[in-house]
Amino acid sequence: MNQPTLSSTPSFSVISGAQVHEVINGKEAEVTRIVEAAYRLHGTGRTVNPDSYFLTFPDDPSSRIIALPASLRGEGGVHGVKWISSFPENVARGIPRASAVLILNDARTGYPFACLESSIISAARTAASAALAAVELSEQRGGRPTRVGFFGTGLIARFIHSYLAGNGFVFDRLGIHDLSAEHAGDFRGYLERTEKGEITVHRTAEELVRSSDLIVFATTASRPHVTDPDWFAHNPLVLHVSLRDLSPEIVLASHNVTDDIEHCMKANTSLHLTEQQVGNRAFMAGTLFDVLTGQVACPRDRPVVFSPFGLGVLDLAVAGHIYDQVSRNRSLHTVPDFFSELKRYG
């Protein structure tokens, strides 16, 4: 990416959510290619992606704030960190569950040079990752599914639907299931504005799973709540984006792909719980990079589950692209005198 010109006075800019939206709205295929390129850099060792760090609260166990530090060493490398909160009670307050900012650091000096609103970046990179997996895994299995089911109907589900459509998926039937009838109805209204296929709100989780060949889990579940492997006997493709919905029994009956195996084996994800139960990782087939490079082939006679933990390098890649576009358009909002103590001895 094009970083600020090195000078004796570092600059610092703020990029708003409106600017982020302006750059990536309607560019789902382009953002997916950016995410794919980041996965390829990560798979060839040209990134640094430490563990995510979780700030939790004893008096509010459902909420958390997560730091995702990362470094991307491709063309014009950059360092940075995403700071993203998840407060589920926000939904009842009428505001989104998640909020985030992302800091970009100059790879030469370490100085932070931009702060971007990042809830949109986070949703976009998550959706692009899911859509990329859906494209690659479904093509390995002989064709794209035409029956999709959305388990959970928040912002992430909307972005994933948009990115699936933006990557060429066409659905004859679309299913919805959510614990909130109101949210399910609102998501149905959204789909009716964008889809021509038959749309059904399913009363039970089982109905949704059994009637869908592509299933998107985008919930706020903190522990497995889908436990019957028989629901998946028709061998669907599952985008397990929320990570904690499926029981170990379902994981063990499936062909499992993730973005980074080491990262996914923590924080009580379904994969982590399965590892704790069986004492090994033999149930893992590989990573999305392995799929992209032909090292892993996906079967048609088992459910295929993609469980992405979410890598900070993906956020950096998308944020770097946005910074470049805003800078190129001369729309950067620079904060004057952000760095004031620049002489070593005053």
Q: What's the distance, CA 153 to chain centroid?
A: 15
In 207-228, which positions are buried (b, 16+ CB within 10 angstroms) versus exposed (e)?
Answer: bbbbbbbbbbbbbbbeebebee
CA distance 217 to 238: 8
- Which domains does the chain show, CATH number per domain? 13-121+312-334 (3.30.1780.10), 127-307 (3.40.50.720)
- C-alpha distance from residue 173 to each of 64, 195, 203, 262 (Å): 35, 9, 16, 36
Backbone angles phi, psi at 30, to 5 degrees: -65, -45
What integer pLDDT is reported at residue 113 of this predicted model?
96
Give one DSSP letter per residue of 89-104, joined into a string: THHHHTS-SEEEEEEE
CA distance 74 to 46: 7
What integer pLDDT is reported at residue 208 of this predicted model?
98
Residue that is written with structure tokens 């709205």 in the block? 25
What integer pLDDT is reported at residue 74 of this predicted model?
62
What integer pLDDT is reported at residue 162 of this predicted model?
98
Asked whether the predicted pLDDT for residue 146 surpasses 80, the reply is: yes
The token duo for 251 is 């994981």
pLDDT digits (tens, 9 = 90+) for 28-87: 999 999 999 999 999 999 999 999 999 999 999 989 999 999 999 866 688 999 999 999
Best CA proximity match to 133, nearest among 252, 285, 281: 285
What integer pLDDT is reported at residue 305 of this predicted model?
98
What integer pLDDT is reported at residue 7 of this predicted model?
58
What integer pLDDT is reported at residue 211 of this predicted model?
98
pTM of this prediction exceeds 0.85: yes
Asked whether the predicted pLDDT for residue 2 surpasses 80, the reply is: no
pLDDT digits (tens, 9 = 90+) for 80-136: 999 999 998 998 898 988 999 999 999 988 999 999 999 999 999 999 999 999 999
Asked whether the predicted pLDDT for residue 148 surpasses 70, the reply is: yes
pLDDT digits (tens, 9 = 90+) for 214-234: 999 999 899 999 999 999 999
pLDDT digits (tens, 9 = 90+) for 240-298: 999 999 999 999 999 999 999 999 999 899 999 999 999 999 999 999 999 999 999 99
Asked whether the predicted pLDDT for residue 6 surpasses 60, the reply is: no
Asked whether the predicted pLDDT for residue 181 surpasses 90, the reply is: yes
What integer pLDDT is reported at residue 8 of this predicted model?
60
Give one DSSP letter per residue of 20-88, joined into a string: HHHHHTT-HHHHHHHHHHHHHHHHTT-EE-PPPEEEE-TT-TT-EEEEEEEEE-STT-EEEEEEEEE-T
What integer pLDDT is reported at residue 5 of this predicted model?
62
Residues 6+ apart with CB under 8 A from 26: 166
Residues 6+ apart with CB under 8 A from 199: 173, 174, 175, 176, 188, 191, 192
The token duo for 287 is 């990573």
Mean pLDDT, range 137-155, rounded to an integer = 95
